[in-house]
């Protein structure tokens, strides 16, 4: 079994705002040893389109090994549950 766990993180980094929950999620994933595919949403239009496509109200959105985990709070619960 491979030790390399992968996570995909979609987070908002706009010219005037960087989502603190996205930063927190990235730090959590890295501290848990994940290889993070950091997908940056760089405009309000990109963010709104992504949220509509995924049916979510807020970013970030985290996937671990292809499984949709949810946002930053969901990630903390997921990692705590082991």
Paired with 62 in beta bridges are 9, 70
* C-beta of residue 35 within 8 angstroms of C-beta of residue 5: yes
Tell me the pTM: 0.92
pLDDT the model gives residue 1: 39
Q: Which residues of the chain have pLDDT under 50?
A: 1-2
pLDDT at 3: 63
Report the CATH number at residue 43: 3.40.30.10
Whole domain around residue 16: which residue ranges? 5-81
The residues pairing with 21 across neighbouring beta strands, listed in sequence order, are: none
Number of structural domains (the chain) is: 1
């Amino acid at each position: 079994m491979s030790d390399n766990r992968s996570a995909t993180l979609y987070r908002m980094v706009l010219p005037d705002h960087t989502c603190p929950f996205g930063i927190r999620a990235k730090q959590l994933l890295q501290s848990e040893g994940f290889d993070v595919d950091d997908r940056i949403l760089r405009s309000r239009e990109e963010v709104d389109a992504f949220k509509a496509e995924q049916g979510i109200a807020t970013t970030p959105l985290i996937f671990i090994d292809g499984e949709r985990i949810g946002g930053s709070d969901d990630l903390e619960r997921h990692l705590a549950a082991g």
